[in-house]
Structure formats: structure tokens, C-alpha cells
Amino acid sequence: MFSSWKEGEPAVVVGLMSGTSLDGIDAAIVRINGSGLEASVELLHYYSKSYEPELRQRLRDLCSEDKSHSAAVCSMNAYLGYQFGATVLEAVTDAGMRIDEVDLVSSHGQTIWHQPVPEEGDAYSVASTLQIGDISVIAKQVGILTVGDFRPADMAVGGQGAPFAPYGDLILFRHSERGRLLQNIGGIGNCTALPAGAGPSDVLAFDTGPGNMIMDALVYMLSEGRLSYDEGGKWAALGKPDQVLLREMMAHPYFHAEPPKSTGRELFGHDYAVSFLEQARLKQISDEDTIATATAFTAHSIADSYMKYVFPSHKIDEVIVTGGGAHNKTLLSMLSELLPEQKVMTSKALGFDDDAKEAVIFALLGHDFMLGVPNNLPAATGARRPTVMGKLALP
């Protein structure tokens, strides 16, 4: 696409990620050599900037059909652009670097609506997705070429616009002898199965369902806003999962849909968490047991997905957990118990920051966009063909 851009030379790229947890912005400064599946990546610095509570609530409202409106979406699109730009500058300073040492910024943006399947009966409804955090604002603020808005291109060729992590997982974690399953646990959980010696057509990937989203929402409600998440899984460790409520939650139709599939707050957002808490109250489940049940819900939805859709066709030796859920010891313990034949670990055990992975992957996606290299993975998204995803904003 821009074939003369850094062709044959290493590039320094800042990847930006703000996920469905709505907890903040991750920035990964990476040096990339090569392109596509043969790229090599060196993580130079990782930086994270938390959202203030009011901003988190405003973003939650934008993800709600009841509370969102056009003016708020329009304004927040620009506001987050400034926040992303400021994060780039802060990350570069924190790394002891100069901004003129960076070649490219690549931003995922903040998803506020993801609709991979059109609404039935509405002739104007099509598969669509919306990420905000205007890339023109970022580019002008930092003075660097900025790439973003990746997901619509995959949808335009029949894909679900998600998951994208498998593309980077294949580059970063494939192994010639060991079958690996990469499980990211952000707001939503997504997995990538990489059999030993995997190539692009061998990858199986999909969203497993809720990651931290339900746990975080319940912690926020039960603590009356004092806590935003269960640090280390300590609250869940005090309780015991209620098996009746857990079975009811696992009956959700999403868990019985065949891959490729993706989801978000549209299915497992605020309304779902409120319903979960109402059911717990009706059953007179204690707060500790409610958090333990929500944690078990995430663990069981992940393990159940593997049993149904991964293990019958892929030999897996290791499950590698990344994202915020990698810090939840209770969740990891539950996963280990449910997966006795696999070694469950975090990416830190392999020398890779647990929190940085998705930001690194978007750096890779932006770098490949600049070189005109197809950067979707049809085996994961269901797209009809490989395509170049992204849009470019000039400084």
C-alpha cells in the first residue's frame, strides 16, 4: 500500500488498545522487523493509563442503548482521540525516548458497539461495528502517521470484525512442537488455538464469552462503587460458586453457537450483570458466593468452549493466559482444575508482559497496513478472503 514506507527496515510503532473492560489505555512501544507472519517483535516499553471513574461511567453509558445518544458519541470520539494522543506522548517520555524516534501510531480505538450479525426484520441493519477515538486527532496531536479503525474492513469481506488477536498470536506464540492455546481475558474472553507448527489455515479462534466483564460489574455494584474489580481474585476466594446459578448462566445460547463467533457488551454488558445479581439475590446467595460464581462462570465458559470446539480437533499442551484476568489467581486456579491435562500459565512465564499483548498486536496490524500486507485472519473472523485492514490519518 505504501510500499516505500520502511520497507526492509525496522520500524518503531506505538500500539494502542482500549478494551471492553473500559479500564484504560494500554500503549506498547515495539520495534518490528519484517512483515506479516514472518515479522519479529521486540517490546521496548509498556505503559498503561487508567480511566478516571467518571470517564469509565460515560463510556459504559455509550455502550448502552438506553443511555447513549448521537451528541455524546460525537463528542467522546474526539475526546478519546485526545486521550489516546496524550497517552502516546506519556508512554514515549516514560520510555526515555523522543517522539521523533517513533515511526507510526496504531490504535484499536474504543469499541462502543459491535454487531457481527444483522438484526432480523430490519432491512437497514447490516453487520457493523463502531470504535471511537478519532485517529485524525491522534495524528495531529502527536505529529505522527496514525492508523486505526481496522474492524470494518474485515466485515466488508464477510468477517465478524473479530477476533483479531489470533493474527498476532500466530506471529508471537506459534511453536514447532507444542500445541498452544492463547486465552486473553479482558472484558471479553477470546482464544486462539495454535496446533504445533501451525500456519494461517490451522488456526481456530473465537470469543469464549465474558472475561472480566461480569465479575467487574458485580464487584462495582456489590461494593457500592468503591471497587472496580476483584484484585487478585481475593473476594472470589472467600466464597463458593453456586452450582444452580452457574448452570443457568451456562445455558446462554452464545455458548452453543459454533465458531467463528464474537461478542461484547451487547450480550454480556450491564443489563446481563444486573440480571445475574437479581438471580443471585432471589436465590439468597451471599456476596462472596456471588463473586465466586461469576468467576466460575468465566472459567467454565472458557473450559467448556475448549471441550466443545477446540480439543476434538486440536492437540493442546499449554494454555497461555493474557490480559487483566491473568492477575486473578482464583480464576487461574479454577481454570487449572477444569483443564487437568493442559499446563495453564500466563505469558509472563514466557517472558512476555501479560497486559501488553493486545497493544502489541495492534502495532503489528498497523505496521502491516502501511506495507500493504493483508492483516486479517479469515480462519478466525470468518471473512471470505484476506484483506488489508485499517485507515490512515496524516499528521
In the chain, where are the structural domains located? 11-164+355-393, 173-350
The verdict on whether residue 149 carries a ligand-binding annotation is no
Q: Is 287 annotated as a binding residue?
A: no
Which pLDDT score, from 0 to 100, does residue 6 have? 80
- The predicted pLDDT at position 354 comes to 85
CATH number of 173-350: 3.30.420.40
290 and 222 Cβ atoms separated by less than 8 Å? yes
Asked whether the beta carbons of 353 and 43 are under 8 A apart, the reply is: yes
Instruction: Tell me the C-alpha distance between 314 and 207, whole Å.
Output: 17
Locate cell 465474558: which residue?
A: 210
pLDDT at residue 246 in the model: 98
The model's pTM:
0.87
Task: Please state, in angstroms and rounded to a whole number, the distance separating the CA atoms of residues 105 and 146.
Answer: 5
Task: Tell me the CATH number for domain 11-164+355-393.
Answer: 3.30.420.40
181 is in an annotated binding site: no
Written as nine digits, the cell of 183 is: 486465552
Q: What is the pLDDT of residue 71?
A: 96
Left if phi > 0, otherwise alpha if psi is -120 to 50, otherwise beta: which for 284? left
DSSP helix, strand, coil percent of the chain (3-state; round to 5):
45, 20, 35
Segments of the chain scoring below 50 in pLDDT:
none
Give the pLDDT of residue 3: 54
Q: For position 1, what pLDDT does the model report? A: 61
Does the annotation place 225 within a ligand binding site?
Answer: no
pLDDT digits (tens, 9 = 90+) for 194-208: 999 999 989 999 999
Q: What is the DSSP letter of 252?
A: -
Report pLDDT for 204. 94
Angle at 321 between CA 320 and CA 324, to 5 degrees: 165
What pLDDT shows up at residue 260? 86
3-state secondary structure of 166: helix
Give, in order, the Cα–Cα distances in Å from 349 to each of 185, 189, 208, 255, 345: 16, 20, 23, 30, 7
Cα(227)–Cα(221) distance, integer angstroms: 9
Residue type, 342: Q
Q: Is 186 annotated as a binding residue?
A: no
Write the pLDDT tens digit of every residue in 69-119: 999 999 999 999 999 999 999 999 999 999 999 999 999 999 999 998 888
Same fold for the pair 11-164+355-393 and 173-350: yes
Q: Check whether 19 is labelled as a binding-site residue.
A: yes
Helices (H), 34-129: 53-62, 70-94
Answer yes or no: are the C-beta atoms of 175 and 192 closer than 8 Å. Answer: no
Q: Quick one: DSSP state of residue 362?
A: H
β-bridge mates for residue 105, sequence order: 14, 146
The confidence score (pLDDT) of residue 10 equals 96
User: Given this model, what pLDDT does residue 262 score?
Assistant: 86
